[in-house]
Amino acid sequence: MPVFLLKSLLSVILFVLALFAMFTMFEVFGRNEKKYNIERLKKIHRANGIVYFLFFILTAYFCLNFILNTKAELSPRASFHAVFALSVVILLALKVAFVRFYKQFYNQVKIIGLLIGLITFALIGTSGGYYLLVTELGTDQRVMKALSSKKQENPAKNESKIEVRTDAASIAKGKELYESKCYFCHDAYSTKKEVGPGHKGILKNPLLPVSEKPATPENIANQLRNPYKDMPSFSYLSDEEVQDIIAFLNTL
Ligand code: HEC
């Protein structure tokens, strides 16, 4: 299952848990004449909060893991999403502290609870909700794939021919970029597969190892912008940087 779909499903669970937490809070504090047993509701609210927190951590793990693996730069949407996520963590910690230790602040707990609910909705809206919408609930594989590889490329750029650079400065720059961005998934000095194929001789062989397209600098540039399958997109790299990476690959 693509990680985006998985995260979206986790976020639907978070959504339901947040809704239920708000419902139990309203029932505890909101009514003049109580409809349910308050002590029991409080217990349910607490258990619900713990389950929420566990799902939150699990979802955050997938998010952080993706960023760590790809070192992709955050889009504006992802940045908002991260700020919302951090706010939820801080508010949850405050809420627990007020309930347990700083009881003089107990009155604030309701408003914090409301905020956590609302920010959770914003959190989901900026990620899972967005993915589920644009992929038509995960059914549109084409969009799913384009999303996993981020931005689409302007095709004109791919057609232009790339001169492979051979000067030492470009190769050194390319090596540095390679070591910071490609190294976790590729071995430069063998053809052994790690997450992706090894890159030794990549431009000397006739075909690229996985897609079996001709091993041209254009196809490598294209792989960085619109990856063939599971590789994350590096469409944020400038043309200069792509050329430097190709200069380095050409030496392998
Ligand atoms: C998160 C892991 C990951 C990272 C990081 C990564 N790749 Fe890949 N790469 C893959 C996988 C998986 C494949 C197999 C083909 C595919 O899924 O697109 C691949 C395939 C390739 C191919 C062969 C494509 C083909 O058509 O056979 C090239 C070339 C390549 N990567 C270059 C790079 C370069 C250059 C970087 C750094 C800027 C990089 N990759 C970073 C995972 C990664």
CATH number of the domain enclosing 220:
1.10.760.10
Closest by alpha carbon to 175, among 226, 246, 234?
A: 246
Q: Which residue has the higher pLDDT, 127 or 220?
A: 220
Q: What is the pLDDT of residue 161?
A: 74
Confidence check: pLDDT of 42 > 80: yes
Positive or negative, the Cα torsion across 134, 138, 144, 150? positive
Distance CA 105, CA 98 (A): 6
Q: How many domains does the chain have?
A: 2
Nearest ligand 1 atom, CA 230? 17
Q: What is the pLDDT of residue 231?
A: 84
Q: Which residue has the higher pLDDT, 221 or 146?
A: 221
Measured from CB, residues less than 6 Å from any atom of ligand 1 are 69-70, 181-182, 184-186, 195-197, 202, 208-211, 213, 220, 223-224, 227-232, 234, 245
Nearest ligand 1 atom, CA 207? 27
Q: What is the pLDDT of residue 155?
A: 44
Q: Are residues 14 and 110 in the same domain?
A: yes
Confidence check: pLDDT of 84 > 90: yes
- Ligand 1 probe mutation, 182, 183, 193, 220, most atoms within 8 A of CB: 182
Cα of 10 from ligand 1 centre, angstroms: 27
Q: Are residues 139 and 238 in the same domain?
A: no
The answer to whether 208 and 215 have CB atoms below 8 angstroms apart is yes
Q: Which residue has the higher pLDDT, 70 or 146?
A: 70
Q: Name the token pair of 70.
A: 């790809």
Looking at 148, 165, 189, the residue that finishes a domain is 148
Q: Are residues 91 and 169 in the same domain?
A: no
Q: How high is the mean pLDDT of the chain?
A: 86
Name the pTM for this structure. Answer: 0.53
Q: pLDDT tens, 182-200?
A: 888 889 999 888 888 999 9
Q: What percent of the chain has a predicted confidence (pLDDT) above 90?
A: 48
Q: Are residues 93 and 171 in the same domain?
A: no
Burial of 121 by CB count in 10 Å (0-12 exposed, 13-18 middle, 19+ buried)?
middle
Confidence check: pLDDT of 56 > 90: yes
Confidence check: pLDDT of 48 > 80: yes
Domain of residue 19 covers 3-148
